[in-house]
Structure 1
Amino acid sequence: MGLFKRATKPASEVRATADGELATMLLQGENMVEQLAKAHLTWGLGSADRWDLDQTTGLITWSFPDKVATAPAQILGSFSPTSGTWLWAWANQSILPELSRDALAVRDWAMANGQEALARAKVEADEQLASTLVALAVRITKARGFYRAPSGNSVVVITFGPVTLTAADGSTSTVAIEVG
C-alpha cells in the first residue's frame, strides 16, 4: 500500500483503541487525502523533475520542464521504512520551528482530546500506521495539499497551501484546492 492510499483495513482495525470520534476523523482524513491527491494531479504534483524546500522562506518548489510550482509549506513528519518509525516534525531538531506548526497543531489537538498516543515524538510505524497518522494530520490541520517527498532512506511528509504556477513565459496562475 502506498503512503497515501486508503487503508485496506477498516478504521476500527487500524487502531483498536480508537474511539468513535477518532475513527470518524480517520475516515474523513482518508477521504481528504484521496481528494487532494486527485485534485493536485491536475497541475502535475508527483511528476516534477525535482523538488526543493527552503526552510528560511517556508516555500516548497517543484520544477518542471515548462513551469515552476511554489507553495507555502509545513513539515508534518518523516517516515523511515528502514527503521520502521514515524518522527513528528516538532521533535526533529533539523526542522525550523516555523515549519512544524502543522505538526504542533496535531500534537496540541491530541493532548486536548485525550489521544496522547498521537502526541509521542517518535512512533514505531509501518507504512499503514504512517498513512493513518498522515490522514489524521491532514484532517486535523485541514491541509489543502500534501506531498510525499523522497529524502534519502525516509519520506518527508509536507503539507502545503495554494500553489502558484509560473510558466516559462513568466505568466502565473494560482491553484487553491479545498476539500471537506
Structure 2
Amino acid sequence: MRPELYIQQSLEGLRAQTASHNSTWHLGDADNWAADQETGRITFTFADGTIAEANMQIVGTYNTDNGTFLWGWDHPSVAEPLRKHAALAKQFGEENGLAQYTERMVECTEEQAWEFTAVAARLGEANGAYRGPAGTALVFMTFGEVKLSKP
C-alpha cells in the first residue's frame, strides 16, 4: 500500500474513532485532562464527576511557537515505556522513506502532527488519540480502552 493512502486511511479511521468517543462519553467536553507517565494513564474529568481513564502512549509534542514536532521515540520528556507507538511510526517512516517520521524533530503544521498521530494510533491498534495543551506545546497521545467511573 502506498504510504500516502495508509496515512489518509489512518486519518479517516481516527476521525471515526474520535466521533464515536465524542458521542458515547463526550471526549471533547472534558473539563480537565491529565497524563501520568509513571502509571502510563490518561485521565479525563467531567463536570458531572465522571472520570474516563485509559492507558496511553505519547507520539510527540508540537511546539506552537515555532511549528516543530518532536517525536516521542526520542523525546527527553517521554518515559521509555510510553514511546512504543511513536517507535512504530518511525519504523513506518523507515520502511517507506518518509523523513518526517524518522527525523527526531521536524517542521510541520498541526494538521501534519495529527497525521503522525493517526498513523501511530493505527499501527499501535489504539482506541483513539488526544491532543492535550501543555503551555505552548501540544502533546499528541494515543490511548487504549477507556474505562468510565463516577465517584
Distance in 2 between residues matched to 1:23 and 1:31, nearest whole Å: 12
Q: Which residue identity does 2:27 align to in structure 1? A: L
Deviations 1:46-84 (A, max 9, x none): 211211111111011111232111100100011112111
Query: Paired residue for 1:59?
Result: 41
What secondary structure does 1:150 align onto? strand
Distance in 2 between residues matched to 1:128 and 1:74, nearest whole Å: 19
Structure 1 residue corresponding to 2:118, chosen from 122, 135, 156: 135
Distance in 2 between residues matched to 1:134 and 1:54, nearest whole Å: 19
Query: Paired residue for 1:10?
Result: none
Q: Percent identity?
A: 34
Query: Paired residue for 1:12?
Result: none
> What's the TM-score, normalizing by structure 1?
0.77
1:50 and 2:35 matched: no
Q: Which residue identity does 1:56 align to in structure 2? A: E
Q: Which residue identity does 2:4 align to in structure 1? A: A
Alpha-carbon offset, residue 120 of structure 1: 0.8
Alpha-carbon offset, residue 22 of structure 1: 0.7
Distance in 1 between residues matched to 2:40 and 2:26, nearest whole Å: 21
What secondary structure does 1:87 align onto? strand
Matches within 5 A, 1:16-165: 21-41=2-22, 42-64=24-46, 65-165=48-148
Structure ranking higher in helix proportion? 2
Alpha-carbon offset, residue 91 of structure 1: 1.7
Distance in 1 between residues matched to 2:51 and 2:18, nearest whole Å: 19
The root-mean-square deviation of aligned C-alpha atoms, in Å, is: 1.5
Alpha-carbon offset, residue 137 of structure 1: 2.4
Deviations 1:7-50 (A, max 9, x none): xxxxxxxxxxxxx6111102211111210110111202121121
Q: Which residue identity does 1:117 align to in structure 2? A: Q
Task: Give the unaligned 5+ runs of structure 1.
Answer: 1-19, 169-180
Q: Which structure has the larger Rg over C-alpha atoms?
A: 1
Deviations 1:94-130 (A, max 9, x none): 1110011110111122223333431111001122322
Q: Which residue identity does 1:27 align to in structure 2? A: Q
What secondary structure does 2:27 align onto? coil
> What's the TM-score, normalizing by structure 2?
0.90
Is the 1:149–1:156 contact (alpha carbons within 8 Å) kept by the matching residues of 2? yes
